[in-house]
Amino acid sequence: MSIVFVPKKLRGKAKINQETIQRLLDENDQLIRCITEYMQKGRAVECVQYQQILHRNIVYLATIADASPDDTPPITSVRRRN
């Protein structure tokens, strides 16, 4: 389950930090890999499910970015998987 999914009673109580953002980026990386794999296998239903989660994560990250002040330092250490 996506880390973005939070029950309504807990929404707005979590602090957004670099670790949370990195976890979302890592999750998005994995989702993209799964989507690609399922597309190659012709499994469209699974693709749609993962695309919906990926979309939700991206919208959430965009919302965080829009709400952040402009003076927020950029993330300097981005882990890349090869």
pLDDT at residue 66 greater than cutoff 80: yes
**What is the number of structural domains in the chain?**
1
**Is 27 inside a domain boundary?**
yes
Range of the domain at 52: 17-67
Q: How confident is the model at residue 1 (pLDDT cuts 50, 70, 90)?
A: very low
Rounded to two decimals, the pTM is: 0.68
**Is 59 inside a domain boundary?**
yes
Sign of the CA dihedral with 19 first, then 66, 26, and 75 last: negative
**Is 22 inside a domain boundary?**
yes
Q: What is the largest CA-CA distance in the chain?
A: 45
Distance from C-alpha of 49 to C-alpha of 14, rounded to nearest angstrom: 25
Sign of the CA dihedral with 23 first, then 51, 6, and 11 last: positive
